[in-house]
Chains A and B, each alone.
Chain A
């Protein structure tokens, strides 16, 4: 083969790694029954492709070739190690003497899609701690390195690596199965998976602490995972979650000023909202609502869609937003939902009505440590001219927030209060 052709094959292998390595990994985990062994096999398979394809030409079905080569390499390495460990010999035996055949058992395109779903459900198993679910999903489903994941959690790469090692050990030792849950368990398990995907997105969209407000990389991964879920498992709530993420994402560019300052929804430049993402999000919301089996993600997406379609804050259909919060509060009761509903009521009926609702939440002892409850209260007091109360609540919020831009925003608001 000419040097040029060989170079083209190398580029093809690179592109294949980016587009398909996660699919190949997902299938290897099923065939080999072990995450670490499968990961090793994946890299050996791609190394073998780089070595052989420029010489022999690329195979007709590159993915099947990679799975087959990975499986062969894994069995080979188990046999070599088996000289020191008898249990590995049994494993190598169980995996089959015919390893390396082109016709790998268990290979078909449909099976491969199932493997990706198996991988997501295993990474987001409720028996794993939530931060480990997110780290494992980013590592194995999205293919990010621990070095890429670590900054998102403001931790060091070894900490993330440790979390992943512990999660994999639990998968192995407690025997978390590599499977899509049975129909009876599916609703609960889908919730955990959706929650895991939303955590990935939110870690990018509203970082919980640190100097910057948003981390776009993780939001992009969240949306990518959301699309994958909708493709593999078109449950209404998966559709609703994707809609919610797209509608939030459409506003990203306007949530911070060029100086990195926080810009509230009412003050954002709506001409810069991403219309393409809004159109896709709105269409998905309608699809999820039409199913009549929707839940909290779809309802939140519907609220985001009302905002997205309003020309400005004053012209927003606040009555509809309050109505959607009413339904949401029944589907998924929480004090945070009540707080958001109170803010919408303040827009519909005036600040005094909203303030009464927020004070009722705080009076029963809820959200006392939640900075947004105090900043929302401060804002309503300010609009009512109750300056002293506004000042106290802004100060309370300031003491609770961990985000620098939010601190600066609250300080600015405090400075603007009349004496």
Chain B
């Protein structure tokens, strides 16, 4: 079963890291990604540019409305994601708990909806 792990970080906290801290943090991410590739959990994943680069698009009354940034101001921002293959939710939680950001921010684990194609 596939799960999406959405990674929320406090950009301020991550941005305030010293060079060596941030290198170590990235190193943890590389090691984690390698680990779940070896264990067969990894299906995909990316890191995102900071939230200031985000654009929100909506269509209201037939008109495209484009605004700066995310819809709601929150303390933590979506910073990246993994798509993993896991046996069940307990297995997915095991994987998610090893994502380095789980210590600093939060990780949301969502099952991916499977559509039965005819």
B partners with A: yes
| Chain A interfacial positions (CB closer than 8 Å to B) | 87, 125, 127, 173-177, 179, 181-182, 185
CB <8 Å contact, B116 and A87: yes
CB <8 Å contact, A179 and B111: no
Once the chains are docked, how many angstroms separate the CA of A176 from the CA of B1? 11
CB <8 Å contact, B111 and A176: no
Once the chains are docked, how many angstroms separate the CA of A124 from the CA of B94? 18
Other-chain contact of A174, B94, B111, B116 (Cβ < 8 Å): B111
Stretch at the interface among B22-30, B51-59, B83-91: B83-91
Determine the chain A residues whose CB is within 8 A of the CB of B94 once the complex forms: 185
Interface string of B59-92 (1 = CB under 8 A from A): 0000000000000000000000000000111110
Within 8 A of A (CB), among B75-118: 87-91, 93-94, 109, 111, 116
| Chain B interfacial positions (CB closer than 8 Å to A) | 1, 87-91, 93-94, 109, 111, 116
Other-chain contact of B111, A125, A173, A177, A181 (Cβ < 8 Å): A173
Main secondary structure of the interface of A (DSSP, over half): loop
CB <8 Å contact, B116 and A176: no
Which residue on A lies nearest to B116, using beta carbons? A87
Once the chains are docked, how many angstroms separate the CA of A181 from the CA of B90? 8
CB <8 Å contact, A177 and B90: yes
Once the chains are docked, how many angstroms separate the CA of A181 from the CA of B111? 20
Determine the chain A residues whose CB is within 8 A of the CB of B111 once the complex forms: 173-175
Determine the chain A residues whose CB is within 8 A of the CB of B88 once the complex forms: 175-177
Once the chains are docked, how many angstroms separate the CA of A318 from the CA of B94? 45
Shortest CB–CB separation between residue B13 and chain A, in angstroms? 24
Once the chains are docked, how many angstroms separate the CA of A125 from the CA of B90? 10
Which 5 A-B pairs give the minimum distances between C-beta atoms? Answer: A177-B88, A175-B88, A174-B111, A176-B89, A174-B89
Determine the chain B residues whose CB is within 8 A of the CB of A125 once the complex forms: 89
Pairs A–B under 8 Å by Cβ, sample size 25: A87-B116, A125-B89, A127-B89, A127-B93, A173-B111, A174-B89, A174-B109, A174-B111, A175-B1, A175-B88, A175-B89, A175-B111, A176-B88, A176-B89, A176-B90, A177-B87, A177-B88, A177-B89, A177-B90, A177-B91, A179-B90, A181-B90, A182-B90, A185-B90, A185-B94
Determine the chain B residues whose CB is within 8 A of the CB of A185 once the complex forms: 90, 94
Determine the chain B residues whose CB is within 8 A of the CB of A179 once the complex forms: 90
Shortest CB–CB separation between residue B8 and chain A, in angstroms? 17
Determine the chain A residues whose CB is within 8 A of the CB of B90 once the complex forms: 176-177, 179, 181-182, 185
Determine the chain A residues whose CB is within 8 A of the CB of B93 once the complex forms: 127
Residue of B87, B89, B109 most packed against chain A (CB within 10 A): B89
Once the chains are docked, how many angstroms separate the CA of A230 from the CA of B93? 27
Determine the chain A residues whose CB is within 8 A of the CB of B109 once the complex forms: 174
Which residue on B lies nearest to A173, using beta carbons? B111
A125-B89, A176-B88, A177-B87 given; 11 more Cβ-contact pairs under 8 Å:
A87-B116, A127-B89, A127-B93, A173-B111, A174-B109, A175-B1, A175-B88, A177-B90, A177-B91, A181-B90, A182-B90
Determine the chain B residues whose CB is within 8 A of the CB of A181 once the complex forms: 90
Determine the chain A residues whose CB is within 8 A of the CB of B1 once the complex forms: 175
Determine the chain B residues whose CB is within 8 A of the CB of A87 once the complex forms: 116
Determine the chain A residues whose CB is within 8 A of the CB of B91 once the complex forms: 177
Determine the chain B residues whose CB is within 8 A of the CB of A175 once the complex forms: 1, 88-89, 111
Shortest CB–CB separation between residue A304 and chain B, in angstroms? 35
Once the chains are docked, how many angstroms separate the CA of A182 from the CA of B87? 14
Shortest CB–CB separation between residue B117 and chain A, in angstroms? 12
Once the chains are docked, how many angstroms separate the CA of A182 from the CA of B109? 20
Determine the chain A residues whose CB is within 8 A of the CB of B87 once the complex forms: 177
Once the chains are docked, how many angstroms separate the CA of A173 from the CA of B3? 11
Once the chains are docked, how many angstroms separate the CA of A179 from the CA of B87? 12
Which residue on B lies nearest to A125, using beta carbons? B89
Shortest CB–CB separation between residue A51 and chain B, in angstroms? 37
Once the chains are docked, how many angstroms separate the CA of A13 from the CA of B90? 37
Residue of A87, A175, A185 most packed against chain B (CB within 10 A): A175
Determine the chain B residues whose CB is within 8 A of the CB of A176 once the complex forms: 88-90
Shortest CB–CB separation between residue B5 and chain A, in angstroms? 13
Once the chains are docked, how many angstroms separate the CA of A125 from the CA of B111? 16
Determine the chain B residues whose CB is within 8 A of the CB of A174 once the complex forms: 89, 109, 111
Shortest CB–CB separation between residue B24 and chain A, in angstroms? 25
Which residue on A lies nearest to B90, using beta carbons? A177
Shortest CB–CB separation between residue A33 and chain B, in angstroms? 11
Once the chains are docked, how many angstroms separate the CA of A109 from the CA of B38? 39
Once the chains are docked, how many angstroms separate the CA of A181 from the CA of B89? 12
Shortest CB–CB separation between residue B106 and chain A, in angstroms? 14
Which residue on B lies nearest to A172, using beta carbons? B111
Which residue on A lies nearest to B118, using beta carbons? A86
Once the chains are docked, how many angstroms separate the CA of A177 from the CA of B94? 13
Once the chains are docked, how many angstroms separate the CA of A87 from the CA of B1? 16
Once the chains are docked, how many angstroms separate the CA of A174 from the CA of B111? 5
Once the chains are docked, how many angstroms separate the CA of A182 from the CA of B97? 15
Shortest CB–CB separation between residue A85 and chain B, in angstroms? 10
Once the chains are docked, how many angstroms separate the CA of A181 from the CA of B94? 11
